[in-house]
Amino acid sequence: MSGAWRLVVRLLSTTIAAGMIVGVAQPGIASSAPTRASPSMAWVVSSAAVGHQRHDLWIRSPAMGRDVPVTVLHPAHARPRGTLYLLDGGGRKTAVSDWIGDARADRYFGDKDVNVVLPGGQGAFYTNWQNVDATFGRPQWETFLTVELPPLIDGRFHGNGKNAIAGLSMGGQAAFTLATRRPGLYTGVGSISACPFTTGVLHESQIRAAVIRDGGDPTKMWGPWGAPGWADHDPGRRLRALTGKRVFLASGTGVPGPLDQETRLDPGRHRAEKIASGAVLESSVNACSTEFARAMRADGLRPVTHFRAVGTHAWPYWAQDLTVMYPVLATGL
């Protein structure tokens, strides 16, 4: 790479980051007794009820080879409903999705007739890694999210078989990759502050920087620079797979706004530093998101866009974007 591209990668790598008690059966869910139907199927190891409309699960995934934390927000009733899979961005993660801790998604969806599935732990671009990584192991997120988890969620939480998928930052990219690789599974897809593309020096550099930031080796994920694995996961090369779906993209310009004063700070970090890094990153994903929207429109698609005049890469904006995105996706559920 040229010196300029190396500078871009270094800059992005410093700014990319942004995430057992068996519950009592309730009207909104099926029996919570842990069962194992087959060695090839995922099953619930434990389920903890957190209020009447949230369950924190640990799910054994044969594909992942481990137990995966998943939170499900759900209505209290037992009538069929659709399911939204909502993915996190990068950075250090806990077992509970950042959408709950930072955006209070549990409050927003409290009166919505939908299941919301929020995987916890390190997302690692929610893809099937090609090789074992010293930090992440060999994640098989695509298999877990698209093959193992949907029938379990539908059976346990009265899903009607209709699904949408969305995410922020890293999770927004992954949402478009999964929706275009498994188009029959989803009626809609959305991204907030994300760059869906994976190929080209700049786009691949951004993804590599994000993986490196979180301690992984991106070559273990999709291969060396320009390898076929990167093209295989590029939604820009599968735009026709989005035909007939509800499609949503949101981002800000990177210009700081009033909500930046509400951004929660990391220990030892100054607000001005966080705003500056968030401005650089949001400006980059905004350029990519608008480019992706133009590509879709040129291919005859009609995405719904919410490109804000202000806003950095920060949770106060993402929490508001969620309330704009969900009504778009809900029409397909």
- CATH code at 250? 3.40.50.1820
Number of domains in the chain: 1
What per-residue confidence (pLDDT) applies to 214? Answer: 93
What per-residue confidence (pLDDT) applies to 263? Answer: 79
What per-residue confidence (pLDDT) applies to 172? Answer: 98
What per-residue confidence (pLDDT) applies to 11? Answer: 41
Alpha-carbon distance of 26 to 131, in angstroms, equals: 41
* Nearest alpha-carbon partner for 52 in 79, 25, 76, 70: 76
Ranges of the chain with pLDDT below 50: 1-25, 31-37
- At CA 213, angle to CA 212 and CA 215, rounded to 5? 60
Tell me which residue range forms the domain holding 157: 3-330
Tokens found for residue 142 = 């695509």
Q: Which residues of 62-100 are buried (b: 16+ CB within 10 A; e: fewer)?
A: bbbeebbbbbbbbbeeeeebbbbbbbbbbbebeebbbbb
Give the relative orientation of helices 271-298 and 3-15 as an angle to the nearest 10 degrees. Answer: 110
What per-residue confidence (pLDDT) applies to 27? Answer: 52
pLDDT, one tens digit per residue, over 178-190 is 999 999 999 999 9
Chain centroid to CA 115: how far? 16
